[in-house]
Amino acid sequence: MKPTRFMTLNRHILEGEKMHPEATGELSALLSQLSMAAKVISLEVNKAGLVDILGFTGDSNVHGEQVKKLDMFAHEILIRAMDHGGHFCVMASEEEEDIIRIPQKHKIGKYVLLFDPLDGSSNIDANVSIGTIFSILKRVTPDGKPGTIEDCLQEGYKQVAAGYVLYGSSTMLVYTTGHGVYGFTLDPAFGEFLLSHDNIQIPENGRIYSINEGNYLYWHNGLKKYIKYLQSNTYDDKPYQARYIGSMVADVHRTLLYGGIFMYPADKRNPNGKLRLMYECNPMSFLIESAGGRAIDGKRRILEIVPKDLHQRTPIYLGSKKCVDLIESYLKEDEENKGGN
Ligand code: P6P
C-alpha cells in the first residue's frame, strides 16, 4: 500500500464534499459523528476482556439470539450519538424490530441510518475481530416529518454512503460515498482516524475463498462443484486458500484488501442464507462495487434487490470480479440443470 498523506477522516470527508458542489456539508457532519461513536465503541471493545462487560445480558434480540452486553452498548451509543444532530429522519438497527424514531425534541433531517451495531458479536469472548456496519440513504418521504419504514426500504444502489468499523488489531473505519473506498486507522495516541488506505481497489482476481464449509451437507450442487473446482485447481500456480473468520466485517475487509471471494450462500436449510440485506449485505456490496468488485445473491446484484422487510436475509457472494463471475456461472448452470430435469 503506497504511503498516504497525513489526512484525518474529518478533513478527508470535507475535501470529498468540495468535489461535489451540490453537497451541503451534512454528509460530512454525520460521518464525523459516526466516527465519534466508533471511537467510544472501540474503547469498550478493547477493554472488554478487562471488565465484567462480557457475558450475556440475559436479554435476547429481535431474532431470538442471546445478546451480549457489548451489542447493546454499541447499539445505544450509536443511537445517542446520531439521533440529535438533525441529520436523520429515521434509523434502524439489527437490535430493534421496528424503526427507531427521532425524539420529537430533535430536528428532523433528510438522511436514513441503518446499522448493525456490533456484527460478529458471538466472537467477542474469543477476542476475534468484530465490527459495526452502517448504511446511509436519503429519505423519500416529504422533508420535515418523521421518517417511515418506506424511507428505510430502498434498494442498495440508492445508498449515499456506507462503511464499517473493524475492531481488530487496530481499529479501522472504511467508507465510501460511491466515489472510491478509503480506509482510516485510529491512532489511539491522539484519538484521530488517519488515512491509511487511500482509494482501495479490490484485486480483479484472488486465491482466497471464504465460506463456512461446515454447511457442506446443505449446499446446492452448483456451489459444491465450484468449491471442488477451487480445491482441485491452482491460481498463479499456487493452490487456492480457505480463510473463514466467521465475522463478516473481518472476512469482507480481508477480501477487499487481498482479493478473493466471501460467501454466505443459500442452502437447503436456509433458502435466503443468514446475512441481513439492509444493514450487512447492502453496505458491504456498495463498498465492494465502489472498489471495483462484484456482489450478487446468486442471480442478481445485491444492490438491486427490492427490500420488503427491515430484517430480511439474502444469500451473498462478494469479492473480486473474476471470482464472482466464476461462482455465478456454476450457480447458473445448476439452475439450468434443475430446470432441465
Ligand atoms: P456462521 C456473525 O454471527 C455473523 O452474523 C457474521 O458476522 C458472519 O459472517 C456470520 O454470522 C457467520 O455465520 O453460520 O458461519 O457462524
Q: Which CATH number covers residue 262?
A: 3.40.190.80
pLDDT, tens digit, 9 for 90 and up, residues 53-65: 544 555 666 676 6
Same domain, 107 and 166: yes
Task: Find residue 175's DSSP bridge partners.
Answer: 163, 182
Domain extent at residue 241: 208-340
The neighbour count for residue 50, using CB atoms within 10 Å, is: 8
CA geometry: angle 130, 247, 137, nearest 5 deg = 75
The domain total for the chain is 2
User: In terms of domains, do 141 and 65 share one?
Assistant: yes
- Which of these three, 165, 197, 229, is where a domain ends? 197
The one-letter code for the residue type at 289 is E
193 domain residue, yes or no: yes
| C-alpha cell of residue 66 | 442471546
Could you tell me the distance, in angstroms and rounded to a whole number, from the CA of residue 166 to the centre of ligand 1?
15
Q: Are residues 247 and 166 in the same domain?
A: no
| Same domain as 212, residue 90 | no
Across the strands, what pairs with 8?
194
Residue 248, ligand 1, Cβ within 6 A: yes
Task: Give the residue, out of 122, 210, 274, with the most ligand 1 atoms within 8 A of its beta carbon, to mutate for a pocket test.
Answer: 274
Single pTM value for the model: 0.93
**Phi, psi angle pair for 167, to nearest 5°:** -95, 90
Residue ranges of the chain with per-residue pLDDT less than 70: 1-5, 21-23, 48-62, 64-68, 339-341
Does the beta carbon of 246 lie inside 6 Å of ligand 1?
yes
Please name the residue whose Cα sits nearest to atom 4 of ligand 1: 120
Cα–Cα dist 99/79, whole Å:
12
Same domain, 258 and 119: no
